[in-house]
Amino acid sequence: MDLMSIKQISPDQVIFWHWGPISLNATILFTWAVMALMVLGSWLITRRLSTDVHLSRWQNLLEVVVNGMRNEIRDISRQKPDPYLYFVGTLFLFILVPNILSVIPGFITPTASLSTTAGLAICVFAAVPIYGIMSRGLPGYLRQYLEPTVFMLPFNVIGELSRTLALAVRLFGNMMSGTKIVAILLAITPLVFPVVMHALGLLTGVIQAYIFAVLAMVYIASATRAQQQTKREHKNNERKGENS
């Protein structure tokens, strides 16, 4: 069967290589594999880009992916997508690729480990204030915590922390449950049914990657957007004042 036994709920527990305090577990190994695959693949594809009418099949694929991400980000944040594309797009692809690869027998998706998902969620946790301060300045960003009234300050802070936890546990729970259900079904009805659940796991994996990226984008947009809305209102008011 797979490398993981039923009793192990995290690929962190599958250890390939051990040397003193350093151990190489399945999460690290497969994360490296996915990173190598993505870097190598994008290098191979972007090596020969063409602006011609005839483009290679792979360049077409990448253009569709990047364009789709730009459109989604523009729809969600109602801002120019470029500053967010690198972060959110990387998150999306880095979750999407291993989730899709998890149908390959023997491949344990690193997103089924709480360490990976917690790392990604912490990245989002750090990116929200960075983007917020970049677009609104430090006082503007901090004022957002006092937004309705001062009494909401603790709830805003708790909300910030709990949504990070929720991001991590949601992705971990979904991917872990996918692999675990397949493992349990292999023990009960090993003939056809695990294949169906694997296909369902493919769907969940894609949706979860999408959800993670969308939620990260929504959080970042909520930290950056208010300023621009007030600016726009200000402009509208000025225009009205000019007209009257």
225 touches another protein (CB under 8 A)? no
Query: Residues 29, 16: contact at Cβ < 8 Å?
Result: yes
**How many CB atoms neighbour CB 11 within 10 A?**
28
Angle at 83 between CA 121 and CA 75, to 5 degrees: 85
Nearer to another protein, 112 or 141 (CB): 112
**How many CB atoms neighbour CB 32 within 10 A?**
12
97 touches another protein (CB under 8 A)? no
Residue 177 in tokens = 């449950």
7 touches another protein (CB under 8 A)? yes
Q: In the stretch 18-57, what mask flags binding to another protein with x, by CB under 8 A?
A: ----------------------------------------
Task: With CA atoms as reference, report the closest residue to 201 among 92, 95, 99.
Answer: 99
Task: Please tell me the number of Cα atoms within 13 Å of 170 on its side-chain side.
Answer: 19
Residue 226 in tokens = 């208010």
Judged by CB under 8 A, the stretch of 42-50, 82-90, 98-106, 202-210 that binds another protein is 202-210
Nearer to another protein, 59 or 204 (CB): 204
Integer CA distances (angstroms), 126 to 78, 122, 132, 190, in order: 22, 6, 10, 44
Nearer to another protein, 136 or 213 (CB): 213
117 touches another protein (CB under 8 A)? no
Pairwise CA distance, residues 242 & 38, whole Å: 54
127 touches another protein (CB under 8 A)? no
Pairwise CA distance, residues 181 & 194, whole Å: 8
Residue 85 in tokens = 């594309």
Nearer to another protein, 88 or 136 (CB): 88
Interacting residue with another protein among 9, 55, 65, 133 (CB under 8 A): 9
Pairwise CA distance, residues 210 & 69, whole Å: 10
Interacting residue with another protein among 55, 211, 225, 228 (CB under 8 A): 211
Q: How far is the CB of 174 from another protein (least distance, A)?
A: 6
What residues numbered 69-88 form the site for another protein, per CB under 8 A?
A: 75
Interacting residue with another protein among 62, 169, 197, 202 (CB under 8 A): 169
166 touches another protein (CB under 8 A)? yes
User: How many residues of this chain bind another protein (CB under 8 A)?
Assistant: 21
Pairwise CA distance, residues 7 & 107, whole Å: 17
8 touches another protein (CB under 8 A)? yes
Which residues would be at the binding site for another protein (CB under 8 A)? Answer: 6-9, 75, 166, 169-170, 172-174, 176-177, 180, 207-208, 210-211, 214-215, 218
